Chains A and B, each alone.
Chain A
Amino acid sequence: EPEVTQTPSHQVTQMGQEVILRCVPISNHLYFYWYRQILGQKVEFLVSFYNNEISEKSEIFDDQFSVERPDGSNFTLKIRSTKLEDSAMYFCASKRAEGGNTIYFGEGSWLTVV
Chain B
Amino acid sequence: AQKVTQAQTEISVVEKEDVTLDCVYETRDTTYYLFWYKQPPSGELVFLIRRNSFDEQNEISGRYSWNFQKSTSSFNFTITASQVVDSAVYFCALSSNAGGTSYGKLTFGQGTILTVHP
Chain A partners chain B:
no
